[in-house]
Amino acid sequence: MADILDGKRIRDEILRECAPRVEALKAHKRAPGLAVVLAGNHAASEIYVRNKVKACAELGMYSEKLTPPESVTTAEMLEIVDRLNAREDIDGVLVQLPLPKQVDTQQVLLRVAAEKDVDGFHPLNLGYLMTNRPGPRPCTPSGVMQLLKRYGIAVAGRNAVVVGRSDIVGKPMAMLLLHENATVTICHSRTADLAAVCRTADILIVAMGRPAFITEDFIKPGAVVVDVGINRVTDRTVAERIFGPSSAELASFDQKGGLVVGDVHPLHVREKASAYTPVPGGVGPLTIAMLMVNTIEAAERRLR
């Protein structure tokens, strides 16, 4: 049976390490400040933002949530970002995605000052990532690297396959692995014989947004599997196909009306991998922990 890589435990370790840094900043001048802009009505985004605000409160950091309406325009979003960029009490500005469809997302993200970009999405910070210079790293890939490091999983010299080429996870994930001397392959929707490529992976990282898509056929025996996907399944036939007709998970589905699953088949990964991240409770908690780290580091840089 594969070992479980517990993201909650690693999150708690990271947050404990953050606490004295926050106290040092408060003693010197003030607590780090994070502003989150949540536009419109998006249930999943509201949960994420609530967890981010909660993490700030637990660390003694200042946080502020701005909630423009679903009808917000690009110009109005840019004005909000400009005001936050100018404020001395705000060290980090996070624009929660997705934005309403009429808003130019790229224009808004580009407007966030690079020194306050705690998501690590600004082109300047992505350039620092590419060239392995200090700067904020995208939170989810950075959290994955912390998970591997703190569980003592060797990266150097191993074959790593990243399934998904998004700017938020796939591409920065590949760069971080490369900087740690892994041999990296990035896969996507046009990869020929995806399963065969995945089976070459000593470390398989999946971020594609398709529930339980990666089955045992994709996993090399003994591989480390990191599942970044978070998919809510509301179709009972899909849940039954994944877990079976007599499973406890299906009973839970019937009680709750839905289940959260990753991109990797949760039963197959237990049998084929040497270690894996569960969903929920794997990568998700680390994303928020690394957001706290990025905000604290932004405050420390601004004080210097």
CATH assignment of the domain containing 247: 3.40.50.720
Domain boundary among 116, 147, 167: 116
pLDDT of 1 reads 79
Residues 148 and 94 in one domain: no
Would 292 be classed as within a structural domain? no
Domain hosting 163: range is 139-285
In 97-223 the beta strands, taken as DSSP E runs, fall at 159-163, 183-187, 203-206
Q: What angle do CA 263, 44, 123 make, to 5 degrees?
A: 80
Provide the pLDDT confidence category of residue 43 given band limits of 50, 70 and 90.
confident
pLDDT of 303 reads 83
What mean pLDDT do residues 224-228 have? Answer: 98
Helix (H) or strand (E) holding 151: none
Rounded Cα gap, residues 227 and 212, in angstroms: 10
pLDDT of 246 reads 87
Would 104 be classed as within a structural domain? yes
Residues 101 and 148 in one domain: no
- Bridge-based pairing of strands 92-95 and 33-37 is parallel
pLDDT of 140 reads 97
Gyration radius (Cα) of the chain, Å: 20
The overall pTM is greater than 0.85: yes
Rounded Cα gap, residues 277 and 269, in angstroms: 9
Domain boundary among 62, 81, 116: 116
Would 127 be classed as within a structural domain? no
pLDDT of 184 reads 98
pLDDT of 78 reads 98
The share of the chain scoring above pLDDT 90, in percent, equals: 93
Rounded Cα gap, residues 191 and 215, in angstroms: 17
Q: What distance lies between CA 278 and its chain's CA centroid?
A: 14
Q: Which residues are tagged catalytic?
A: 52, 96, 119
Rounded Cα gap, residues 36 and 119, in angstroms: 11
- Residue found by looking up tokens 């607590």 in the block: 31
pLDDT of 47 reads 82
Rounded Cα gap, residues 91 and 111, in angstroms: 15
- Residue found by looking up tokens 């591997």 in the block: 148
What mean pLDDT do residues 113-120 have? Answer: 97
Would 38 be classed as within a structural domain? yes
pLDDT tens, position by position, 44-78: 788 888 999 999 999 999 999 999 999 999 999 99
Token digits for 182? 């892994």
CA count, 13 A, side-chain hemisphere, 61: 32
Rounded Cα gap, residues 281 and 235, in angstroms: 22
Residues 181 and 75 in one domain: no
Number of domains in the chain: 2
In 144-291 the beta strands, taken as DSSP E runs, fall at 159-163, 183-187, 203-206, 224-227, 231-233, 259-261, 275-276
Rounded Cα gap, residues 299 and 297, in angstroms: 5
Residue 120 and residue 175 in contact, taking contact as beta carbons nearer than 8 Å:
no
Would 3 be classed as within a structural domain? no
Residues 145 and 60 in one domain: no
DSSP code, position 259: E
Q: What angle do CA 2, 172, 300 make, to 5 degrees?
A: 105
Would 304 be classed as within a structural domain? no
Residues 89 and 197 in one domain: no
Residues 213 and 78 in one domain: no
Token digits for 68? 């423009």
pLDDT averaged over the chain? 95
pLDDT of 48 reads 84
Residues 62 and 181 in one domain: no
